[in-house]
């Protein structure tokens, strides 16, 4: 799977360099990052790093993980002066450092098992910000793999138990994205032990 994903995403970034251009960070992240208890962050499936760059510019030390060497090279090129460590890894098997991070962010990517592994990588009171696409009859792209689309209200159930939900929202995505799609966003604060 990993090798297929790497090839697919490297090709996508090479064919559509617009995807590597500077973009605004996730609004859900922008509105909530201040509530993180410290400055260690991880950006899962960071792409060219819009969220990593935003966090690093606000004083965070960021581990930026992605399978695409093309996306990570672009991130390095645009942000070599910032405290960002690019990590080329397959998130199907990658396990982040345990009880280490104050904030984890995962946008426009869905791996339900990774969400559970990431919960273990957060310190008590740390934030988990997730924002990604959901099933909707009016989504412009109707051929997306349903495994990678959230069901109604699903993000809340994925964080239930280990997190206090600080914010939950469903919305139409931003105009800079390629297709108009419905999304969910959530901010959870990890429970104290
Ligand atoms: C739609 S982009 C999202 C990029 C970024 N999070 C954002 O919101 O702008 C999805 C990213 O997931 C990465 N990806 C896909 N499969 C992966 C895997 N198995 N392991 C790590 N990264 C993966 C791709 O390389 C791509 O950069």
Q: How far is the C-alpha of 32 from the C-alpha of 70, rounded, in Å?
A: 29
Per-residue confidence in pLDDT tens, the chain, 193 aa: 578 999 999 999 999 999 999 999 999 999 999 999 999 999 999 999 999 999 999 999 999 999 999 999 999 999 999 999 999 999 999 999 999 999 999 999 999 999 999 999 999 999 999 999 999 999 999 888 888 999 999 999 999 999 999 999 999 998 888 899 999 999 999 998 7
C-alpha gyration radius of the chain? 16
Task: State the CB neighbour count (10 A cutoff) for residue 121.
Answer: 21
Provide the domain limits for residue 163: 2-190
Please give all residues whose beta carbon lies within 6 A of any atom in ligand 1, as ranges. Answer: 2, 5, 9, 45-47, 50, 66-68, 71, 90-92, 107-109
Per the structure block, which two tokens stand in for 164? 């206090």
Contact 182, 133 (CB under 8 A): yes
Residue nearest to ligand 1 atom 16, measured at CA = 5
Distance from the CA of 193 to the center of ligand 1, in angstroms? 31
| CATH code, domain carrying 139 | 3.40.50.150
Report how many domains make up the chain.
1
Determine the atom of ligand 1 nearest the C-alpha atom of 6.
25
Tokens 């931003």 belong to residue: 174
pLDDT at res. 120: 95
Question: Using an 8 Å Cβ cutoff, are 29 and 167 in contact?
Answer: no
């Amino acid at each position: 799977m990993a090798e297929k994903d790497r090839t697919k995403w490297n090709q996508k970034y090479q064919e559509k360099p617009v995807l590597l251009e500077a973009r605004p960070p996730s609004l859900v992240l922008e509105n909530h990052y201040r509530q993180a208890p410290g400055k260690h962050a991880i950006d899962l499936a960071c792409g060219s790093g819009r969220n990593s760059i935003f966090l690093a510019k606000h004083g965070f030390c960021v581990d930026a993980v992605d399978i695409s060497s093309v996306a990570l090279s672009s991130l390095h090129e645009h942000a070599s002066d910032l405290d960002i460590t690019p990590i080329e890894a397959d998130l199907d098997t990658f396990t982040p450092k345990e009880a280490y991070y104050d904030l984890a962010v995962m946008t426009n990517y869905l791996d339900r098992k990774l969400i559970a592994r990431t919960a273990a990588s957060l310190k008590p009171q740390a934030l988990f910000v997730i924002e990604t696409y959901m099933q909707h009859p009016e989504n412009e792209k109707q051929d997306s793999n349903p495994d990678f689309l959230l069901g109604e209200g699903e993000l809340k159930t994925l964080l239930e138990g280990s997190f206090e939900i600080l914010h939950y929202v469903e919305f139409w995505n931003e105009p800079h994205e390629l297709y108009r799609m419905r999304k969910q966003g959530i901010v959870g604060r990890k429970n104290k032990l």
